[in-house]
Chain A
Amino acid sequence: MPRYIARRLLLAVPTLLMVLTVVFVLIRIVPGDPALTILGDQASQEAIRELRTRIGLDQPLYVQYADFLGHAIRGDLGNSMVSGQPVLKQVWEVMPYTAELTVAAIVLGVVIGLPCGVLAATRRNRFPDYVTRIVSLLGLSFPSFVSAILLILVFAIYLGWFPVITASDLSHPLTRMRNLVLPAVCLGAIMAAYVTRVTRSSMLAVLGEDYVRTARAKGLPRGVIVWRHALRNALIPVSTVVGLYLGILIGNSVLVEVVFARPGLGKLIVGALSQRDYTLLQGLMVVYAFIIVLVNLLTDLTYALVDPRVRLP
């Protein structure tokens, strides 16, 4: 196991270096002069030159690249061009909100998705299976901003149970919970749909295995076979999928945060886009990619931990 972990960690290093390179290139594909784009056509030559110097655009590309890499590796993602604050500080300020939303969505997704998936698999090609399959496919088809708007319409505007937009002061835990419910349900429904489908197909594969037949032949009760013997093994691919779909979840959280006017990484990136804050954008891209690479790494390691076959060369 330690050798596997070391190998996997080493593999993540070139990926992260390439991620940094891609971010550097992406932010610099702006047609024309970024300084001019930021300041607008009316800006004086003086102001443009000053901004170019401030953000290092007057340096040759390779110097900019080395500078960016050197700082990023040391954990310095620069300062926002608009607020002047360090990018990482701004990220840390909103990170808890995105993290709590993502965790809540995953918990909801697993709590709803697992039993639904097991139900569908154990009643394959019968009514509960058809309903679960159609409903989960419908769940996957909902663009998160559409479901967010529908949730707001029903539960915030018509029924008035929840706030339409997130409260500006979230310091009270109850207010914070109340403001989390609708966004979490919105993302959790998508997650539940994914988990249901993966659990179903994974359970179907496991239920056809020899050891399940043996358990049945031994006369074990059906519940014990399904929940103790089959589900335990079916969970391995499910755990991987939960990790892999975290990327989709984080992407969708952008839209949900925008619709619910909720603080978070997504709202920060949309704000940076509208204000053309390139350093903040660059930093946020690195943060997003870092999260995905980290989650993939953890998913692989978890997989290796629960399934020893993975570690074999």
Chain B
Amino acid sequence: MKPSRAGWALPIALQRATRIFGANKISMIGLAIFLIVVALALLAPILSPFDPLDQHVLDRLQSSSATYWLGTDTYGRDTLSRLLWGARTSLVIGLASVAVAMVIGSVIGIVAGYFGGRLDMVIMRAMDVLLSFPTLIMGLIVVAMLGPSAINLIIAIALTALAPFARVARAPTIAIKEREFIEACRALGFSDLRIMAVHVLPNVFADILVMGSLWLATAIRIEASLSFIGLGIAPPAPTWGGMIRDGFENILESASLAVFPGLAILLVVFALNLVGDGLRDVTDPRLRGE
């Protein structure tokens, strides 16, 4: 048997995760769809036939044609170009908010689980309180209070995801801190900070990462919902939620305006959920032995 060194846990856990995940074909399809959307968003400046803000006033509310593949909106802006640029907003805000929630939530969860006692009780109670607000309502209020901007959207969405991440990081920390290698670290006189960062974190990292991918879908959906309500990034910047809102206002004139961005959100969230389904198998202890 290999000597137990916490630093090795990460690659081994990741290897196992990749093996289980790779065997799940449906999840691989989800991952492929998501990566294609990421590529399209990255290549938006090259792929967009028009500037997403350019108004072609004479070509308002056009349906699909050779010039405008997905038609134009009320200001004569090209829907396809706005869709491609809007993907950037959704992905950047989604990824950034999940990253922020992941880092802060994990720190909170590991600290609570590691020190236990009264500190743990106070922290987890506070997390319970955050969970007492419906996700969207919490996002709504925070953005409304701070004002709609990319940074504030990230803060709002991250705040709604904080408690779930703290919980996911805390549970394995409680189990790990009782293990012998942690006791050995303490006997060697390592500081609590070093034990948590070097020896506990790698062991809870896989769970946090899985949670991150699951929350990405939710974060993208919340961003779109807030934009739809009018609390997203200010117009004329293209966002999928904002495009659906504009489309909905003109639904009797051109139904496709709301449908295309709606399908785009559905596609990304569905792809991420497919990925999440496969990742959930990775963390399922019943599959650990397989």
| B-binding residues in A (CB < 8 A) | 14-15, 18-19, 22, 26-27, 29-31, 134, 137-138, 140-143, 145-146, 149-150, 152-153, 157, 247-248, 250-252, 254-255, 258-259, 269-270, 273-274, 281, 285, 288-289, 292-293, 296
- Residue of B135, B146, B221, B228 near A29 (CB, 8 A) is B146
Q: Mark B29-71, 1 if CB is under 8 A from A, else 0.
A: 0000000000000000000000000000000000000000000
Q: Is the interface of A mostly helix, strand, loop or mixed?
A: helix
Chain A CB within 8 A of B229 CB: yes
Cβ–Cβ contact A145 & B144, under 8 A: no
Cβ–Cβ contact B262 & A149, under 8 A: yes
Q: How far is the CA of A249 from the CA of B131 in the complex (A)?
A: 14
Q: Mark B202-226, 1 if CB is under 8 A from A, else 0.
A: 0000000000000001000100110
Cβ–Cβ contact A26 & B132, under 8 A: no
Chain A CB within 8 A of B147 CB: yes
Chain A CB within 8 A of B1 CB: no
Q: How far is the CA of A288 from the CA of B26 in the complex (A)?
A: 37
Instruction: Known contacts A18-B129, A157-B252, A254-B140; decide if A140 and B273 are in contact (CB<8 Å).
Output: yes
Q: How far is the CA of A19 from the CA of B270 in the complex (A)?
A: 33
Cβ–Cβ contact A252 & B136, under 8 A: yes
- Residue of B132, B229, B262 near A289 (CB, 8 A) is B132
Instruction: With CB as the reference atom, state the residue of chain B lying closest to A244.
Output: B131
Q: How far is the CA of A130 from the CA of B197 in the complex (A)?
A: 41
List A contacts of B270 (CB < 8 A): 137-138, 141
Cβ–Cβ contact A281 & B141, under 8 A: yes
Cβ–Cβ contact A273 & B144, under 8 A: yes
Cβ–Cβ contact A137 & B133, under 8 A: no
Query: From residue 259 to 290 of chain B, which have CB atoms closer than 8 A to chain A?
Result: 259, 262-263, 265-266, 269-270, 273-274, 277
Give A142 Cβ to nearest chain B Cβ, in Å: 6
Give B164 Cβ to nearest chain A Cβ, in Å: 12
List B contacts of A252 (CB < 8 A): 136
Chain A CB within 8 A of B255 CB: yes
List A contacts of B263 (CB < 8 A): 146
Q: How far is the CA of A144 from the CA of B36 in the complex (A)?
A: 24
List A contacts of B119 (CB < 8 A): none
Give B206 Cβ to nearest chain A Cβ, in Å: 21
| A-binding residues in B (CB < 8 A) | 26, 125-126, 128-137, 140-142, 144-147, 217, 221, 224-225, 228-231, 244, 247-248, 251-252, 255, 258-259, 262-263, 265-266, 269-270, 273-274, 277
Point out which of A19, A138, A250, A273 has the most chain B C-beta atoms below 10 A from its C-beta. Answer: A273
- Residue of B126, B140, B248 near A269 (CB, 8 A) is B140
Closest 3 CB pairs of A and B: A251-B134, A251-B136, A146-B262
Point out which of B145, B252, B269 has the most chain A C-beta atoms below 10 A from its C-beta. Answer: B145
Cβ–Cβ contact B265 & A143, under 8 A: yes
- Residue of A19, A251, A288 near B129 (CB, 8 A) is A19
Q: How far is the CA of A141 from the CA of B136 in the complex (A)?
A: 15
List B contacts of A285 (CB < 8 A): 133, 137, 141
Cβ–Cβ contact B274 & A137, under 8 A: yes
Cβ–Cβ contact A14 & B125, under 8 A: yes
Q: How far is the CA of A141 from the CA of B264 in the complex (A)?
A: 11
List A contacts of B135 (CB < 8 A): 247-248, 251
Instruction: Known contacts A15-B128, A29-B146, A143-B224; decide if A288 and B277 are in contact (CB<8 Å).
Output: no
Point out which of B137, B147, B231 has the most chain A C-beta atoms below 10 A from its C-beta. Answer: B137
List B contacts of A255 (CB < 8 A): 136, 225, 228-229
Instruction: Known contacts A18-B126, A251-B137; decide if A153 and B259 are in contact (CB<8 Å).
Output: yes
Cβ–Cβ contact A137 & B144, under 8 A: no
Give A17 Cβ to nearest chain B Cβ, in Å: 9
Cβ–Cβ contact A149 & B244, under 8 A: yes
List A contacts of B251 (CB < 8 A): 149, 152-153, 157
Point out which of B125, B128, B147 has the most chain A C-beta atoms below 10 A from its C-beta. Answer: B128
Cβ–Cβ contact B244 & A288, under 8 A: no
Instruction: Known contacts A15-B128, A141-B273, A273-B140; decide if A248 and B248 are in contact (CB<8 Å).
Output: no
Instruction: With CB as the reference atom, state the residue of chain A lying closest to B160.
Output: A251
Q: How far is the CA of A270 from the CA of B139 in the complex (A)?
A: 12
- Residue of A30, A138, A150 near B262 (CB, 8 A) is A150
Cβ–Cβ contact A293 & B132, under 8 A: yes
Cβ–Cβ contact A15 & B144, under 8 A: no
